[in-house]
Amino acid sequence: MNTPITPPASPTPTGAPAPQPSPKATVDTAKKYIRTLEGDMEAIKKGIVPNLSPLKAPATTIPATPATPVLHPSPEATEDKAAPIPAPAQIPVPIQNPVKSYSSDFTQKMKETRASTATVLAAEQDAGKSGVPQDQPEKSHRSNILYIIAGVALLIFGIAGSYIAYSRYLASAEPVILAPAVYSPIFADEKEKISGTSPDEIMQAIKQSLTRSLAPNTVRFLYTDFATTTGKSVFSALQLPAPGALLRNINASRSMVGIVSAGGSQNPFFILSVASYGDTFAGMLSWEPAMIRDLSELFPSFAGGFGGQASSTIMAASTDSTDSPRATAASTPILTTSFYDEVVNNHDVRIYRDAEGRSVLLYGYWNQTTLVIARDTEAFTELIRRLATTRLPAQAGTQ
């Protein structure tokens, strides 16, 4: 009994060509998988990091032709003709993409050099820079050298100009000589520079200043060049036969000699800065017997002042006067008991008065380091008042 055979689907004829994709589909597929440097740059600008892994197009396979079923013919048909040989199954063959893209080149470069992605990108950038003309760095180097040379030249010209200007300034400018500072322990209404270096010259200069009138209750300060440069006081320069204890304790830089107008007359005065109150006071006490005679040129006695006490005078010189290079007339009367203690403006003084009670000379201390020698109580009071309104600096050094 013969088995019914189902007719198979129309098989593909043996040797027939496989179906091919249309040209439009091939172009679209190629565009999809092409990566270029321009496309990656646009993606980076948009903030997208491109995937640098190689892209592979899927292999296109040809669908296999279904195998033709084997028929079991009847014995009669087998004898009449041989059965047809079935066509072999089609093996899928990958289609090579004929389009070369940046992605394929990039992948091939990495395979050949075995480099990382960053290394290949750096090589691509260097290759792009290699197209820049080589003469530009040389031109830039030359321009830098010119700038450096110009800067050095300007610096040299500036230094030379400054030196020339400074040299001309020094040549044209006259040296400024500052006048030496003179110190006055009190406020002085006038200042007068006296000339002379010897004791006689200084004494004559003081007497000449006495002849120039002053306004009432004013003071004239007398100074010399050596007093400001050598530190030697005018009192010491007069070389008076004063006791050594007094001269050694005088601070020359803080002492003063001048003219004061008080009580209707103007007379000289001394303000001496001393280092020791006890030593200088003892020296003044020992100098009292000869002080009127030694200072008679500056503090002369009034006319007839000594006539009433002629019986109580002696004609002798003080023992201290022999040590001084300056000698006075031996005929000058010296009173044995001439100085007396008095109080003037709340200050203890030693004062010498003549027979008529007129003050010839007095001395007293403003404080423990300031000794004042003046003509009378009016002059002493004016000097004390000015000392009270002037702040005395700290004493330094002695002479």
Average pLDDT value for residue range 245-260? 89
Examine the fold and report which residue of 86, 106, 127 is the final residue of a domain before the chain moves on. 127
Backbone angles phi and psi of 321, in degrees to 5:
-70, -20
289-341 pLDDT tens trace: 999 999 999 999 886 433 333 333 333 333 343 344 444 433 444 444 479 99
DSSP lists the bridge partners of residue 271 as 256, 372
* Res 68: pLDDT: 55
Asked if the model's pLDDT at residue 49 lies above 60, the reply is yes
Residues 219, 338: one domain? yes
Return the closest-CA partner of residue 325 out of 199, 207, 220.
199
pTM of the model: 0.49
Identify the residue with better confidence: 66 or 361: 361
Summarize the confidence of residues 142-158 as an average pLDDT.
88
Phi-psi region of 341 (alpha: psi -120 to 50; beta: other; left: phi over 0): beta
Among the candidates 100, 127, 154, a domain finishes at 127
Of residues 211 and 336, the one with the higher pLDDT is: 211
Please give the DSSP secondary-structure letter assigned to residue 253.
E
Residue 177 lies in a domain: no
Query: Would you state the pLDDT for residue 88?
Result: 55
Q: Residue 342 pLDDT > 80, yes or no? A: yes
Domain assignment of residue 132, yes or no: no
Same domain, 121 and 200: no
Which residue, of 97, 127, 157, is where some domain finishes? 127
Collapsed DSSP state (helix, strand, coil) of residue 126:
helix
Least reliable range by pLDDT among 92-96, 116-120, 155-159, 275-279:
92-96
State both tokens at 200. Answer: 């006689």
Asked if the structure places residue 397 within a domain, the reply is: no
Distance (Å, rounded) from C-alpha 41 to C-alpha 314? 130
Residue 138 lies in a domain: no
Residue 317 lies in a domain: yes
Phi and psi, residue 236, nearest 5°: -70, -35
Residue 181 lies in a domain: no
Task: Reduce the DSSP state of residue 50 to 3 states and report it.
Answer: coil
Q: Identify whether 249 is part of a domain.
A: yes
Q: Could you tell me if 103 and 203 lie in one domain?
A: no
Whether residues 236 and 371 fall in one domain: yes
Local confidence band at 279 (pLDDT 50, 70, 90 cut-offs): very high
- Same structural domain, 284 and 356: yes
Q: Give the residue, 13 or 170, on which the prediction is more confident.
A: 170
Which stretches of 241-323 are DSSP H helices? 244-248, 277-294
Whether residues 277 and 376 share a domain: the answer is yes
Res 396: pLDDT: 38
Model confidence at 257, in pLDDT bands (50, 70, 90)?
very high
- Please give the residue that has the higher pLDDT: either 377 or 81: 377
Tokens describing residue 71: 């028929």
Give, in order, the Cα–Cα distances in Å from 5 to each of 2, 22, 69.
9, 38, 10
| Bridge partners of residue 364, in order along the sequence | 349, 372
Length of the chain: 399
* Helical (H) or strand (E) element with 372: strand 370-374
How do residues 215-226 score in pLDDT, each as one tens digit? 999 999 998 876
Residue 342 β-bridge partners: 349
- What's the total number of domains in the chain? 2
Q: Which domain holds residue 320?
A: 190-302+312-388
Residue 108 is predicted with a pLDDT of: 76
Which pLDDT belongs to residue 341? 94
- Asked if 116 and 211 sit in the same domain, the reply is no
Indicate the residue type of 28.
D
Q: How large a percentage of the chain has pLDDT more than 70?
A: 57
Confidence of residue 260 (pLDDT cuts 50, 70, 90): very high
- The residue whose two tokens read 């006890």 is 278
By the 10 Å C-beta count (0-12 exposed, 13-18 middle, 19+ buried), 298 is classed as buried
Q: Give the pair of three-digit tokens for residue 52.
A: 């640098």
Per residue in 135-149, pLDDT tens? 556 667 777 888 899
pLDDT of residue 237: 83
Q: Compute the mean pLDDT over every residue in the chain, rounded to the nearest whole number.
A: 73
d(CA 328, CA 317): 9
The residue with greater pLDDT, 15 or 197, is 197
Lowest-confidence pick of 37-41, 239-243, 372-376: 37-41
